[in-house]
Chains A and B, each alone.
Chain A
Amino acid sequence: MMTNPGNQITQGQFSFLPPLTDVQITAQIKYALKSGWSLAVEYTDDPHPRNTYWEMFGNPMFDLKDPAGILMEINNCRKTFPNHYIRVMAFSSVRGVESPTMSYIVNRPKTEPGFRLVREEAEGRSIRYTVHSYATEKPEGERY
């Protein structure tokens, strides 16, 4: 079990808040759409802090401007991968940004075992650190 405050992975914008309701998620979708951003849904069963590329639940929804439609995609992903981490991301294509502008978790596995810190003693008192995800001891798709 994770021992940090909240006992869960705290990536994303809203991991310190109670789980977002569909109404709250819709409000965030509207904010992104109003800002001119495109939304995307991504999922993974390897939440390593440096696992940049979560699987895409389809391409970013560049042409979908209906918050209800986007929420439907999020819920489809939740139905398909109920025990995975799922995040909603927003992308801006404006010059000077051209990068993600939002990222928040909307689904988690029932239990979050977290990570082990592996220390490899190196020269002098230096230590090489590796963050190891307990879940990845099992093969992909069988982790939670």
Chain B
Amino acid sequence: MASETMKEGKERYKAGVIPYKKMGYWEPDYKVKDTDVLAMFRMTPQTGMDPEEVAAAVAGESSTATWTVVWTDRLTACEMYRAKAYRCDLVPNTGEGTKTEAQYFVYIAYELDLFEGGSIANLTASIIGNVFGMKAVKALRLEDMRIPVAYLKTFQGPATGVIVERERLDKFGRPLLGATTKPKLGLSGRNYGRVVYEALKGGLDFVKDDENINSQPFMHWRDRFLYCMEAVNKASAATGEVKGHYLNVTAGTMEEMYKRAEFAKSLGSVIIMIDLVIGYTAIQSMALWARQNDMILHLHRAGNSTYSRQKNHGMSFRVICKWMRMAGVDHIHAGTVVGKLEGDPLMIRGYYDTLLDTHTPMNLEKGLFFEQDWASLNKCLPVASGGIHAGQMHQLLTYLGDDVVLQFGGGTIGHPQGIQAGAVANRVALEAMVLARNEGRDIWNEGPQILQDAAKWCGPLKAGLDTWKDVSFNYESTDTPDFVPSATSSV
């Protein structure tokens, strides 16, 4: 399969329309450079279209091309600036003889100089700027990216990072425990702080604002901050531990967010929070602020499922993880496997590896299509939140490991004996499971027994286990990896 690119020269630049493939956007022989930005798309071409031509169109429209030939290309080193689609594979179990219409994995290489350093906005304006609306594709999904070290080095990365966060909080060798205050809307500042105090005194490390808690008529932001910090400090004195509450500073303008962040800092908070919906540039600005003000920066992935969940269109959450690690957040919600929100175990592990590894090898089972060297960017702590409870502790620890914040909102606040008891149940379950795992026990199989044994001396854990013993969320994942383990068979 040789490149069909037309030779540079007069013929190539005659006014009119020529296929993208011939314009130099399809180069199957291209040798990927270490400095290239690589992207892999799942592409569904319009019926009857040549997939390689559509792949070239994606490369063209995400780099230099427009729909027609322009002579002004000849004023530039245009061959270099053109993105090159270099691989186009039929996705296993799609196309003729299957229930799904043909999809293709398209690999595209971008020259480093196409991008401005340190700007997620610029990177994304190219890669996902225009191409998703092109008529030539029925659907398009950005599955993964390889960011070259040279480009990573232009980003700050996580303001604090997992290692320093643990040192600041004095918490090592176990997952952190959190909870989201519930109900998420309607509590007054005073009532809200009560939940925070009870949960922290009971044994959690963190409590959290929800994504849509900003400054509403029932609770304005200053009231929330003041009452929450009273709760945090009182709980810290009651337990001798560093405690925190993610104060959500999300607001309508940067000016307002800075104001709220400054107030959180003046009250001595160790952590603030933002929502993904504030946008990439705002996130980068808050990450710079957090680095300069010794603040941990928590990101709630509000809104991501509108474009990350469906398999054929949008983008994979693993790409968001990469961008957010570059943008500089310290925490990001990345799935629970066993809870109420979407997540295939291996896919979730892929997100966690992306956030935590110093070097991620290619691993198709986990949906990692590229090897990624993280160039000593700090690690970003994944947060598991949504429908998890103490009875799943062995599964959570097995799937998610130590570097995670386990958020038991309902599982703490909904405890039959009260919020403090809920926190105790979670903390005892966690410590008992970490102890057992370290002792070399098979917690995956012995987990329920380990919990029952602890429940014999811990009443709150017994009550929690009895209440939620049958709760699980067993739905099929919509987003699963498609890969070919060998040349002949598929999964």
A interface residues (Cβ-Cβ under 8 A, vs B): 2-5, 9-11, 13-18, 24, 27-28, 30-31, 47-50, 52, 89-90, 95-104, 114-117, 125-129, 131-132
Q: Which of A47, A101, A102, A103 has a CB less than 8 Å from the CB of B240?
A: A47
Given A5-B420, A97-B163, A129-B229, A115 and B237 touching (CB < 8 A)? yes
Q: Which of B230, B266, B379 has a CB less than 8 Å from the CB of A96?
A: B379
Given A16-B428, A52-B167, 20 more A-B residue pairs with CB atoms under 8 Å apart are A2-B240, A4-B201, A13-B173, A16-B424, A17-B435, A28-B439, A50-B242, A89-B172, A95-B358, A96-B163, A99-B166, A100-B166, A101-B172, A114-B237, A114-B238, A115-B236, A116-B237, A117-B236, A126-B226, A132-B237
Task: Say yes or no: A9 contacts B424, CB within 8 Å.
Answer: no
What's the least CB distance linking A21 to chain B, in Å? 11
A136 to B201, CA, bound (A): 22
In chain B, what residue has the closest Cβ to A132?
A: B237
Task: Say yes or no: A9 contacts B163, CB within 8 Å.
Answer: no
Given A11-B241, A13-B174, A117-B234, A96 and B358 touching (CB < 8 A)? yes
Residues of B within 8 A of A101 (CB): 172-173
Task: Say yes or no: B240 contacts A127, CB within 8 Å.
Answer: no
What's the least CB distance linking A135 to chain B, in Å? 11
Q: Which of B242, B438, B440, B457 has a CB less than 8 Å from the CB of A49?
A: B242
A50 to B233, CA, bound (A): 12
Residues of A within 8 A of B440 (CB): 27, 30-31
Interface size class of B (residues with CB under 8 A): 35 or more
Task: Say yes or no: B173 contacts A99, CB within 8 Å.
Answer: no
A-B contact pairs, 17 of them (CB 8 A): A2-B240, A3-B238, A11-B170, A14-B435, A15-B431, A24-B435, A89-B172, A95-B358, A97-B163, A101-B172, A103-B172, A116-B237, A126-B226, A126-B267, A131-B233, A131-B236, A131-B237
B427 located at the interface, meaning its Cβ lies under 8 Å from any Cβ of chain A in the complex? yes
Task: Say yes or no: B428 contacts A10, CB within 8 Å.
Answer: no
Most buried by B among A5, A18, A28, A101: A5
A54 to B167, CA, bound (A): 14
What's the least CB distance linking B333 to chain A, in Å? 23
Q: Which of B419-463 contact A (CB under 8 A)?
A: 420, 423-424, 427-428, 431-432, 434-435, 438-440, 454, 457, 460
Residues of A within 8 A of B230 (CB): 127
What's the least CB distance linking A69 to chain B, in Å? 19
Closest 3 CB pairs of A and B: A9-B240, A102-B173, A129-B233
Residues of B within 8 A of A31 (CB): 438-440
Task: Say yes or no: A10 contacts B439, CB within 8 Å.
Answer: no
B202 located at the interface, meaning its Cβ lies under 8 Å from any Cβ of chain A in the complex? yes
Q: Which of B163, B242, B439 has a CB less than 8 Å from the CB of A99?
A: B163
A16 to B423, CA, bound (A): 11
Q: Which of B173, B174, B237, B239 has a CB less than 8 Å from the CB of A10?
A: B239
Residues of A within 8 A of B203 (CB): 4-5, 10, 16
Task: Say yes or no: A49 contacts B236, CB within 8 Å.
Answer: yes
In chain A, what residue has the closest Cβ to B376?
A: A96
Residues of A within 8 A of B427 (CB): 10, 16
Residues of A within 8 A of B226 (CB): 125-127
A140 to B101, CA, bound (A): 75
Task: Say yes or no: A28 contacts B435, CB within 8 Å.
Answer: yes
Residues of B within 8 A of A131 (CB): 233, 236-237
Residues of B within 8 A of A102 (CB): 172-173
B95 located at the interface, meaning its Cβ lies under 8 Å from any Cβ of chain A in the complex? no
B268 located at the interface, meaning its Cβ lies under 8 Å from any Cβ of chain A in the complex? yes
Provide the B263-295 mask, 1 if CB < 8 A to any CB of A, else 0.
000111000000000000000000000000000
Given A99-B167, A100-B172, A117 and B237 touching (CB < 8 A)? yes
What's the least CB distance linking B172 to chain A, in Å? 5
Task: Say yes or no: A28 contacts B237, CB within 8 Å.
Answer: no
Provide the B146-183 mask, 1 if CB < 8 A to any CB of A, else 0.
00000000000000000100110010111000000000
Residues of B within 8 A of A95 (CB): 358
A17 to B439, CA, bound (A): 15
A99 to B203, CA, bound (A): 24
What's the least CB distance linking B106 to chain A, in Å? 33
Task: Say yes or no: B173 contacts A11, CB within 8 Å.
Answer: no
What's the least CB distance linking A9 to chain B, in Å? 4
In chain A, what residue has the closest Cβ to B233?
A: A129
Residues of B within 8 A of A132 (CB): 237
Most buried by A among B201, B230, B435: B435
In chain A, what residue has the closest Cβ to B232?
A: A129
Task: Say yes or no: A129 contacts B268, CB within 8 Å.
Answer: yes
Q: Which of B163, B238, B266 has a CB less than 8 Å from the CB of A4?
A: B238
Given A4-B201, A24-B435, A11 and B358 touching (CB < 8 A)? no
A95 to B240, CA, bound (A): 31
Q: Which of A52, A98, A117, A129 has a CB less than 8 Å from the CB of B163?
A: A98
In chain B, what residue has the closest Cβ to A112?
A: B240
A28 to B267, CA, bound (A): 38
Residues of A within 8 A of B202 (CB): 4-5
Given A5-B203, A126-B267, A114 and B240 touching (CB < 8 A)? yes
A131 to B202, CA, bound (A): 18
Q: Which of B170, B242, B358 has a CB less than 8 Å from the CB of A103?
A: B170
A45 to B100, CA, bound (A): 67
